[in-house]
């Protein structure tokens, strides 16, 4: 073995359980064992894909790749003869290089699991690995401390004596290896079988008695039987559970989103609406497509939500509902449009764009949460054969990321369009994907990754990648969204006081939330004596409170779905005070009567700090320079607001 840098040798032997640190999240080195063509690389790649998907950083170190980098031209099976000393030196050096890289992966890259994909068929080779592990602090039955971390070794041996399985593996995988790119198929098959014979000469399987101090699982004939020994932590438990669920039976998995929903049309996320007319057409088209595929023993899975159930009903076959397949929970943003989220929660909108995978909606879920929720679904999919999963956009992205080995960064931006079926066919080292668009038009719900994710970005930058939808198209028409129907300014002098009353009435003509601003310049000696909101003929009068108290009342009212506002004035060049109001007009409820939240009304907020006097009911208040007034209205089915300030 080659020597290793000194930093890899720093360790303290922990001889007793009492002195051993009780770590619970220890890095793990997985060592594959078995003759060629027994599915070791298949298991390595599949296990690595699963562990990375659930958030455990994992990397495969395939010894064959190290060999091909050193010996770029493969001649024949004689390279693997145990009496070929020159070849044995090369093979040992390749193993040493792989183990060095594994050590670097744990110490420098902070990896969690390393999979050493090699035959490791002799006790001598496995002894070298265990010695390497012990010298560098790994735990292979006994405990060792390494940089204050325990590192664990777990063996996976694949045993197969079924000639049909072995031959199928050779024909599907091994003959397409770079080793045989210039070989005839028959020649390659003969050479590979001789290579296996070379390994058989020195192959010593893991022994239940002699190796009882080691942690391992033995898999017989691709899962017909298992032998598990000394499972030590939760990672090993999950690995064993996963390996006991996978199989190699040919099958296809069909993924489809539900048909277009009513909320999809409106550009609203989440919710539990039914299908639109186009969505119902897609449900029928999906049924015809599935019948045309002639799928044997097909199982159909849906979520608990109306739109997936309605889509499955058209199939006319039994289906199973999974709560785990429900769409990602958007929390406080459920049934909102992206435009509304940006208007009411701009910071949250930006934070989600900064890390869409890990961002969790307030009172909702993140994509990371969704992956963990879907783990039982993946386990069951691995056990099943042909399955049609009718699900949702975020759910489909998570499932697709598992089968296609996509990173957490790419997962939230995978394209899963409506009215399209994806057919996934698992292969030896990957997955074949076929896409079928069923020619039923639907809205686009995919939002691309934005370029500007800064919290201070402008609204138009935040909404740059928001897809078109019915309401968005309406707002882009020439028709003005907000119409000022009345605007009156009345002046009078009463007892040496000049009183100016400003009234404005504004109508929101669209069924989408819109904002407007109103400003009134006051002289430095003037003050606000009254502020009211009139909605549906009912007048709501503001009150003066300390800023902190007013803010609490305002926030509480807003959470309850009430119309609420804060009033402020700010000094402008010491000549005027600008009384500034911003008003958020909710959608026209008569247009959107079927929407669940049609009674949620606008909140009114006022920019600037009240550093000048602020007065109501003709009583001057000038002791507290931070006085604010607030007004709260009940939830009403209004279309317009009357703003009145004296």
Are 422 and 535 part of one and the same domain?
no
584 and 612 co-located in one domain: yes
Domain boundary among 192, 211, 243: 243
Do 34 and 168 fall into the same domain? yes
* Domain-ending residue, one of 189, 215, 243: 243
Give a yes or no: residue 357 inside a domain.
Answer: no
Alpha-helical (H) ranges within 109-233 are 123-135, 163-172, 185-200
Pair (502, 551) in one structural domain: yes
The CATH number for 16's domain is 3.40.50.300
d(CA 280, CA 289): 14
| 131 and 226, same domain (yes or no) | yes
The pLDDT assigned to 349 comes to 97
DSSP 583: E
Q: How far is 340 from 329, CA to CA, in rounded Å?
A: 17
260 annotated as a binding-site residue: yes
Put simply, whether the predicted model's pTM sits higher than 0.95 gets the answer no
Q: Are residues 161 and 231 in the same domain?
A: yes
Q: Which of 157, 327, 340, 368 is catalytic?
A: 327
pLDDT of amino acid 630: 46
Domain final position from 437, 463, 493: 437
Same domain, yes or no: 405 and 526? no
Q: Give the separation between CA 373 and CA 48, rounded to whole angstroms.
A: 19
* Dist. CA 228–CA 213, nearest whole Å: 12
**Residue pair 450/464 in contact by the 8 Å Cβ criterion:** yes
142 falls within a domain: yes
343 located within any domain: no
Question: What span, in angstroms and rounded, lies between the C-alpha atoms of 296 and 251?
Answer: 9
- Overall number of domains in the chain: 3
Based on the fold, state whether residues 279 and 213 are members of the same structural domain: no
Query: Three-state SS for 617?
Result: coil
Q: Which backbone phi and psi does 468 adopt, to 5 degrees?
A: -65, 145
Tens digit of pLDDT for each residue in 457-480? 999 999 999 998 766 655 554 455
Strand pairing report for 431-437 and 514-523 = unpaired
Rg from Cα positions in the chain: 34
| Range of the structural domain that residue 308 is part of | 253-337+365-437
What pLDDT is attached to residue 589?
A: 36
| Shared domain check, 188 and 221 | yes
In a domain, 475, yes or no: no
Let me know if residue 452 belongs to a domain.
Answer: no
Tell whether 263 is in a known binding site: yes
Give the Å distances, CA to CA, from 519 to 187, 268, 502. 87, 32, 10
| Mean pLDDT, the chain cut into blocks of 10 residues (646 residues total) | 41 39 71 96 96 97 96 90 94 96 92 96 94 70 46 93 90 86 89 96 96 96 94 93 92 98 96 97 98 96 98 97 98 96 95 98 98 98 97 99 97 98 92 96 96 95 89 55 68 68 66 54 60 64 64 68 55 41 42 28 31 29 35 38 44
Q: Is residue 466 part of a domain?
A: no
Query: Would you say 261 is a known binding-site residue?
Result: yes
Q: Of the listed 109, 135, 208, 258, which one is catalytic? A: 258
Residue 529: predicted pLDDT? 62
Give the pLDDT score at 438. Answer: 97
> Is 424 in a helix, a strand, or coil?
strand
Does 236 fall in a domain? yes
274 annotated ligand binder = no
Does any domain span residue 446? no
pLDDT at 559: 63
Query: In the annotation, is 234 catalytic?
Result: no
Do 231 and 285 have their domain in common?
no
- Residue written as token pair 């199939």: 315
Instruction: Identify whether 258 is a catalytic site residue.
Output: yes
């Amino acid at each position: 073995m080659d020597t290793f840098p000194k930093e890899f040798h720093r360790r303290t032997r922990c001889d007793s359980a009492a002195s051993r640190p009780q770590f619970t999240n220890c890095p793990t080195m997985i060592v594959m064992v078995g003759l060629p063509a027994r599915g070791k690389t298949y298991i390595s790649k599949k296990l690595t894909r699963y562990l990375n998907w659930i958030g455990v950083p994992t990397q495969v170190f395939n010894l064959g790749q190290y060999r091909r980098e050193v010996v770029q031209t493969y001649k024949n099976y004689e390279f693997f003869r145990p009496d070929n000393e020159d070849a044995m030196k090369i093979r040992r050096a390749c193993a040493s290089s792989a183990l060095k890289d594994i050590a670097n992966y744990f110490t420098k890259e902070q990896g969690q699991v390393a999979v050493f994909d090699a035959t490791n068929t002799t006790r001598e080779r496995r002894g070298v690995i265990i010695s390497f592990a012990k010298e560098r602090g790994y735990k292979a039955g006994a405990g060792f401390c390494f940089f204050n971390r325990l590192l664990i070794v777990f063996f996976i041996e694949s045993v197969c004596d079924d000639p049909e399985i072995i031959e199928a593996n050779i024909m599907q995988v091994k003959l397409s290896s770079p080793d045989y790119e210039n070989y005839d198929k028959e020649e390659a098959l003969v050479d590979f079988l001789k290579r296996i014979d070379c390994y058989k000469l020195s192959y010593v399987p893991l022994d239940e008695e002699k190796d009882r101090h080691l942690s391992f699982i033995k898999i017989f004939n691709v899962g017909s039987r298992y032998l598990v020994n000394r499972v030590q932590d939760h990672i090993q438990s999950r690995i064993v559970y996963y390996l006991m669920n996978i199989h190699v039976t040919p099958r296809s998995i069909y993924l489809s989103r539900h048909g277009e929903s009513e909320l999809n049309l409106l550009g609203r996320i989440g919710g539990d609406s039914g299908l639109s007319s186009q969505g119902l057409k897609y449900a029928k088209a999906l049924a015809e497509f599935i019948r045309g595929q002639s799928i044997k023993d097909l199982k159909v899975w849906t979520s608990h939500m109306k739109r997936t159930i309605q889509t499955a009903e058209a199939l006319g076959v039994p289906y199973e509902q999974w709560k785990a397949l429900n769409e990602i929970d958007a929390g406080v943003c459920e049934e909102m449009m992206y435009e509304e989220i940006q208007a009411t929660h701009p910071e949250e909108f930006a934070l989600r764009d900064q890390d869409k995978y890990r961002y969790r909606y307030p009172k909702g879920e993140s994509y990371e949460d969704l992956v963990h929720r879907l783990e039982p679904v993946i386990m069951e999919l691995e056990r099943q054969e042909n399955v049609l999963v009718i699900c949702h956009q975020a759910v489909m992205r998570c499932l697709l990321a598992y089968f296609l080995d996509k990173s957490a960064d790419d997962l939230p931006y995978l394209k899963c369009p409506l009215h399209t079926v994806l057919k996934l066919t698992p292969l030896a080292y990957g997955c074949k994907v076929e896409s079928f668009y069923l020619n039923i038009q639907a809205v686009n719900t995919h939002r691309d990754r934005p370029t500007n994710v800064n919290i201070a970005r402008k609204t138009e930058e935040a909404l740059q990648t928001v897809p078109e939808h019915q309401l968005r198209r309406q707002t882009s028409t020439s028709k003005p969204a907000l119409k000022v129907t009345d605007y009156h300014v009345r002046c009078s002098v009463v007892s040496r006081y000049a009183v100016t009353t400003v009234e404005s009435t504004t109508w929101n003509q669209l069924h989408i939330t819109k904002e407007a601003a109103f400003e009134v310049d006051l002289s430095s000696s003037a003050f606000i004596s009254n502020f009211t909101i009139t909605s549906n003929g009912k007048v709501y009068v503001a009150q003066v409170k300390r800023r902190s108290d007013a803010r609490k009342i305002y926030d509480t009212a807003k959470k309850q779905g009430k119309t609420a506002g804060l009033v402020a004035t700010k000094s402008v060049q010491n000549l005027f005070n600008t009384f500034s109001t911003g008003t958020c007009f909710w959608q026209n409820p008569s247009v959107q009567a079927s929407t669940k939240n049609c009674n949620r009304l606008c909140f009114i907020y006022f920019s600037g700090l009240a550093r000048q006097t602020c007065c109501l009911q003709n009583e001057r208040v000038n002791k507290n320079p931070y006085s604010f007034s607030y007004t709260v209205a009940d939830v009403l089915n209004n279309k317009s607001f009357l703003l009145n300030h004296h």
